[in-house]
């Protein structure tokens, strides 16, 4: 029986014979094969990047006003909403995400991000600096040209929107590279861009592995900027590879974030927040707070609350509206998260619930399922404390003082997010300032707004995404000095 072939997206069409279609794409909820994916080698990547450069240089794109680009993005946001059900079905198959999460979380956020940058497109303001009466000093912004957007597999639509919308609003062309395991959402997204009227070639997609396709993309000389979301180790590699050609890089990488519960907190709400943070998207979320730091005097009570509430979490067939937690999205991530559970079982911490593979009924019996797991007695220095598991595992750590809580929170190599739970306003602000992270929630958790920038600290990355600053990151600065006085002295005065 012939299988579906997923092919790269070049100038508004799928390029079917771009390379060998050897990679099997799997539905992680069932383990069933969805189709085969083409891999772009260096020559195919070069052809796609060159086509993007041509699309960028087209007079119709060069002369398009920022407001018109914004108008195209508005159409794209409308299409995301109008075609939400079809997009949800695509993503459900490719990532196994619960349908309720896609419907109420990922799709609305995708549309909101695109709409924010639609409005931002014509709000970029250069500046006039004070010079002398003889000269006017201007500072303006220009697009880079062709940029690369390298995506992870955990939130394909949101991540595509976070790169395409600001890049296009700023007037660039962009080549996306989705994770090899999850190409479907990115391909559907790119097709929608063309339907919205974004000229073919402005959003192209290469397919294949990071080591072959991704590497060829970042090394191509026509790529002027790389915006990467993924692991810290690959981010470090990309930064080094980009150095030879002095490309701009934006890196949004891993996290091992802390949610701090002080004894005076509303424990009910804090428990809800911790469970959402740890288990939404099966823990495959960079900003999730997978370390729960609890003041000792309420630790036993709070851990009991977490365990009790976690029993209500429905895990299973993602097509079921009641399902809250789905599978691990890739086999390798499933195996990696399981290895941490083995590590936890061998360590001094206690497994309060979960701790192994989850058994899910047909048709999901062969999917990549892990039980939502809560660990107690975790301490800095343990692997489950220090390393990003990127699975449904909450690690509970006890502390005595505010100072100790901050020290534990900041003790990891990452600095992405944090959450603080207390009714003491001064303490909340003190701890928020002490957190060495790009974002911090106080008495709330995971609320995401396109207008708020995310700028990772430490080994969580470099640069900025989202917000107006996220759009300026897709623009080069240029200074122009204009002489306006023909009699002004110039040079050494040799002419007179």
Q: Which residues bind ligand TAP (CB under 6 A)?
A: 150-154, 177, 179-180, 209-211, 214-215, 218, 229-231, 234, 237-238, 252-255, 286, 388, 390, 416, 454, 456, 460-461
Q: Tell me the closest approach of the beta carbon of residue 413 to ligand TAP, in angstroms.
A: 12
Q: Is 191 a catalytic site residue?
A: no
Report the alpha-carbon distance of residue 249 to residue 10 in Å, rounded: 24
Q: Tell me the closest approach of the beta carbon of residue 418 to ligand TAP, in angstroms.
A: 14
Which of 113, 265 has the CB closer to ligand TAP? 113
Q: Tell me the closest approach of the beta carbon of residue 302 to ligand TAP, in angstroms.
A: 26
Q: Are strands 248-252 and 223-229 parallel, antiparallel or unpaired?
A: parallel
Extract the runs of DSSP E, i.e. beta strands, from 302-372: 350-353
Asked whether the beta carbons of 289 and 408 are under 8 A apart, the reply is: no
Report the alpha-carbon distance of residue 106 to residue 289 in Å, rounded: 19
Say which of 40, 91, 163, 225 is annotated catalytic.
163
Which of 163, 191 has the CB closer to ligand TAP? 163
Q: Are strands 373-376 and 350-353 parallel, antiparallel or unpaired?
A: antiparallel
Q: Is 403 a catalytic site residue?
A: no
CB atoms inside a 10 Å sphere around CB 240: 10
Q: Is 289 a catalytic site residue?
A: no
Asked whether the beta carbons of 277 and 445 are under 8 A apart, the reply is: yes
Say which of 40, 253, 286, 349 is annotated catalytic.
286
**Counting Cβ atoms within 10 Å, is residue 445 exposed (0-12), middle (13-18) or buried (19+)?**
buried
Report the alpha-carbon distance of residue 137 to residue 80 in Å, rounded: 42
Q: Tell me the closest approach of the beta carbon of residue 229 to ligand TAP, in angstroms.
A: 5
* Length of the chain measured in residues: 496
- Taking CB positions, which residue lies at the least distance from ligand TAP? 210
Q: Tell me the closest approach of the beta carbon of residue 107 to ligand TAP, in angstroms.
A: 17
Which of 254, 326 has the CB closer to ligand TAP? 254
Asked whether the beta carbons of 377 and 357 are under 8 A apart, the reply is: no
Long-range CB contacts (within 8 A, 24+) of 160-163 = 160/110, 160/185, 160/186, 160/189, 160/190, 161/109, 161/110, 161/113, 161/114, 161/189, 162/113, 162/229, 162/465, 162/466, 162/470, 163/227, 163/229
Which of 98, 283 has the CB closer to ligand TAP? 283
Which of 324, 416 has the CB closer to ligand TAP? 416
Q: Tell me the closest approach of the beta carbon of residue 253 to ligand TAP, in angstroms.
A: 5
The CA R_g of the chain, rounded to the nearest whole Å, is 24
Which of 265, 370 has the CB closer to ligand TAP? 370
Q: Is 252 a catalytic site residue?
A: yes
**Would you state the structure tokens that stand for residue 43, as one six-digit string?**
């020559």
Say which of 106, 252, 295, 303 is annotated catalytic.
252
Say which of 37, 181, 371, 465 is annotated catalytic.
465
Q: Cite the active site residues.
A: 163, 252, 286, 465
């Amino acid at each position: 029986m012939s299988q579906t072939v997923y092919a790269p997206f070049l100038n508004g069409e799928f390029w079917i014979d771009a390379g060998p279609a050897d990679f099997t794409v799997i539905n992680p909820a069932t383990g069933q094969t969805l189709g085969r994916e083409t891999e772009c080698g260096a020559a195919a990547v070069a052809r796609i990047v060159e086509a993007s450069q041509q699309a960028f240089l087209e007079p119709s794109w060069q002369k398009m006003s920022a407001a018109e680009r914004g108008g195209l993005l508005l159409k794209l946001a409308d299409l995301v909403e109008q075609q939400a059900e079809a997009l949800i079905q695509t993503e459900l198959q490719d990532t196994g995400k619960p349908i309720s999460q896609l419907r109420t979380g990922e799709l609305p956020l995708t549309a909101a991000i695109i709409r924010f940058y639609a409005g931002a497109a014509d709000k970029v303001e250069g500046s006039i600096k004070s010079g002398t009466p003889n000269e006017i000093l201007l500072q303006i912004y220009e697009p880079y040209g062709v940029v690369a957007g390298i995506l992870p597999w955990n939130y394909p639509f949101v991540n595509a929107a976070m790169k395409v919308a600001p890049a296009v609003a700023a007037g660039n062309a962009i080549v996306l590279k989705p994770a090899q395991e999850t190409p479907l959402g990115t391909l559907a997204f790119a097709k929608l861009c063309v339907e919205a009227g974004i000229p073919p070639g402005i959003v192209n997609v290469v397919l294949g592995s990071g080591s072959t396709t991704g590497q060829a993309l970042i090394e191509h000389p026509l790529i002027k900027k790389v915006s990467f979301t993924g692991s810290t180790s690959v981010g470090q590699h990309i930064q080094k590879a980009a150095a030879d050609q002095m490309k701009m890089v934006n890196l949004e990488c891993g996290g091992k974030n802390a949610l701090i519960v002080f004894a005076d907190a509303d424990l009910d709400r804090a428990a809800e927040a911790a469970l959402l943070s740890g288990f939404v998207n099966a823990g495959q979320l960079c900003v999730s707070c997978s370390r729960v730091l609890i003041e000792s005097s309420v630790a036993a009570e709070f851990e009991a609350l977490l365990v009790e509430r976690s029993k209500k979490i429905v895990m299973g067939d993602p097509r079921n509206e009641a399902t809250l937690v789905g599978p691990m999205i890739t086999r390798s991530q499933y195996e990696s998260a399981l290895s941490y559970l083995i590590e936890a079982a061998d360590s001094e911490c206690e497994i309060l619930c979960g701790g192994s593979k989850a058994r899910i009924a047909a048709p999901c019996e062969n999917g990549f399922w892990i039980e939502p797991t809560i660990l107690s007695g975790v301490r800095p220095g343990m692997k489950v404390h220090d390393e990003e598991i990127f699975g449904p595992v909450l690690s509970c750590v006890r502390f005595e003082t505010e100072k100790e809580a901050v020290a534990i929170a900041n003790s990891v190599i990452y600095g992405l997010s944090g959450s603080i739970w207390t009714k003491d306003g001064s303490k909340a602000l003190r701890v928020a300032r002490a957190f060495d992270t790009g974002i911090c929630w106080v008495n709330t958790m995971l609320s995401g707004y396109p207008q708020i920038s995310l700028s990772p600290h430490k080994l969580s990355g470099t640069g900025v995404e989202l917000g107006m600053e996220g759009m300026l990151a897709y623009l080069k600065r240029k200074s122009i000095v204009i002489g306006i006085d023909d009699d002004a002295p110039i040079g050494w005065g040799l002419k007179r």
